[in-house]
Structure 1
Amino acid sequence: MSEPHLDPDRIPTHVGLILDGNGRWAEQRDLPRTAGHAAGEAALFATIESARKLGVAWLSAFTFSTENWSRSEDEVEFLMFFNEDLLLRRRDELDAQGIRIYFAGDLDDPRIPERNRARMVETSAMTAANDGMRLVFAFNYGSRVEIADAARRLALLVRRGELDPERIDPSVFAGQLYVPEMPDVDLVIRTSGEMRLSNFLLWQAAYAEFVFPEVLWPDFSREDLVAAIAEYQRRKRRFGSA
């Protein structure tokens, strides 16, 4: 599906989404924060479908950060099992659309319930042969941890004599990140008007463009996605050059 005011040849290859505002959306309606997360699910999957139809090749969504463990026990428990239930309800639909699903984050964290971890492994495996849009759920994700983990893996390779440290360059380093084949992010969209990355894809977003719509995530629409891509297309990307 094309948009008349978007250049189909300049659709960003990789869009990153920081899904901000679920809690505030719920509070504005005198609802529990968990209701905001449930409403945010509908916005996320509508956005996945819109992005796919617009020709976005990679879509990464920040669904649970390493810092989110500091939230209330009830909210964290809800998010853990909501994620498991969401995968069970949605993965067949995504698989039928040819979408390949990845999970980026510290999935070995013992705080993650084993059933939740098993659903993520199953979902990745069942979609591994798909050749459509790549969908990355950044779950228990923190970019500083990702970068530290990559450095640790490289250090182990060097210590074992399997890697010459003189060979380590950005491409070798990127090969140790959670999803090595992930391309750099072209466009980061953070809802709710907040203007910060919050430890999301710091390495991959080195040359990304940023758009910060005021809308809270549960109200994010196809029109908001199109507007963000239109803003991206109006910009001249220099990648550090003059």
Structure 2
Amino acid sequence: MSLKEKIEINRLPKHVAIIMDGNGRWAKAQGKDRSFGHQEGVVSVRKVVEAATSLGLEYLTLYTFSTENWRRPESEIQALMGLLVKAIYQETPDLMKNNVRLMAIGDLSRLPEDAYTSLMDCIAQTSVNTGTTVVLALSYSSRWEITDAVRTIAKRVMDDDLKISEITEGVVSEYLTTKGIPDPDLLIRTGGEQRISNFLLWQLSYAELYFTDKYWPEFREEELYSAILDYQMRERRFGKTSEQL
């Protein structure tokens, strides 16, 4: 029996988030330039999205580029942005064919014009799709997101449009870039590191964490199935006891 066949479809996580780490280290191990790792990483994105849609996952969020990544060498940033434009252009027909909706979260205003335009065009084209929603976290960091939400809420209070007593967890969630997106049930991080790296800090409060030594270019369908099987073996209590579940 294959790993996919072992998965209980009625117990799938509703939302899987992935920190795609290890492109550069994988390329270095191959004696290649970091850009080669990013190119192979795009192949993994395609394979994992296909696997997610075949299972019927509702949401898949991919940590694509953090606000901290803007500090990388300019040549690498330009290569990444060029790869992003090319990948979106090439993948849009398949997203339409597979009924995948694309969304993006983050400070998108910092993206180069061609990357921003390609992204918005793809989001508009796929907005009619009703299958898996793929969320790209681009120019994203959780501290930026939460700080921006606090500023907006504070302004509403100053404008007498919101009372302090009315600020609840639900209100805070409404001002995050993930508004309308369910919190992740499962976070996967590739590349052997075991940290969150400023990703969805608010939203990951009750997520199950799964770490793998596989670099992102090595992470394909079987690795996703293995992570989901591991998730299905866990007991999610949300602060309750086992007996209360």
TM-score after normalising by structure 1: 0.95
SS state at 1:69 partner:
helix
Whether 1:86 and 2:107 are equivalent positions in the alignment is: no
SS state at 1:124 partner:
helix
- Provide the residue aligned with 2:142 in structure 1: 143
SS state at 1:108 partner:
helix
Q: Deviations over 1:77-107 (max 9, x none)?
A: 1111211111111112102221111111001
- Provide the residue aligned with 1:163 in structure 2: 162
- Provide the residue aligned with 1:199 in structure 2: 198
Q: Deviations over 1:154-203 (max 9, x none)?
A: 11222222222221111111111113011010001101121011011111
- Provide the residue aligned with 2:233 in structure 1: 234
- Provide the residue aligned with 2:65 in structure 1: 64
1:1-242 mapped onto 2 (5 Å cutoff): 3-109=4-110, 112-242=111-241
Q: Work out the CA distance in 1 between the residues paired with 2:3 and 2:50.
A: 13
SS state at 2:109 partner:
coil
Q: Work out the CA distance in 2 between the residues paired with 1:187 and 1:158.
A: 34
The one-letter code matched in structure 2 to 1:209 is: E
SS state at 2:54 partner:
helix
Residues paired across the two proteins, number: 240
Which consecutive aligned stretches of 4+ in structure 1 deviate over 4 angstroms post-superposition? none
Contact kept in structure 2, 1:2 and 1:8, CA below 8 Å: no
The one-letter code matched in structure 2 to 1:183 is: P
Deviation of the 1:151 alpha carbon: 1.1
Q: Work out the CA distance in 2 between the residues paired with 1:6 and 1:83.
A: 32
Deviation of the 1:221 alpha carbon: 1.8
Deviation of the 1:6 alpha carbon: 1.4
Q: Work out the CA distance in 1 between the residues paired with 2:80 and 2:5.
A: 38
Q: Work out the CA distance in 2 between the residues paired with 1:19 and 1:187.
A: 14
The one-letter code matched in structure 1 to 2:74 is: E
The one-letter code matched in structure 1 to 2:107 is: D
Deviation of the 1:2 alpha carbon: 8.9
The one-letter code matched in structure 2 to 1:18 is: I
* CA-based RMSD: 1.4
The one-letter code matched in structure 2 to 1:184 is: D
Q: Work out the CA distance in 2 between the residues paired with 1:173 and 1:60.
A: 20
Q: Work out the CA distance in 2 between the residues paired with 1:157 and 1:125.
A: 30
The one-letter code matched in structure 2 to 1:228 is: A
Contact kept in structure 1, 2:3 and 2:226, CA below 8 Å: no
Q: Deviations over 1:7-53 (max 9, x none)?
A: 11111000001111100110011110000000000011100010111
SS state at 1:4 partner:
helix
The one-letter code matched in structure 2 to 1:100 is: R
Q: Work out the CA distance in 1 between the residues paired with 2:144 and 2:27.
A: 30
SS state at 2:61 partner:
strand
| Residues 1:92 and 1:160: Cα distance change in structure 2 (over 3 Å) | farther
The one-letter code matched in structure 1 to 2:20 is: L
Q: Give the unaligned 5+ runs of structure 2.
A: none
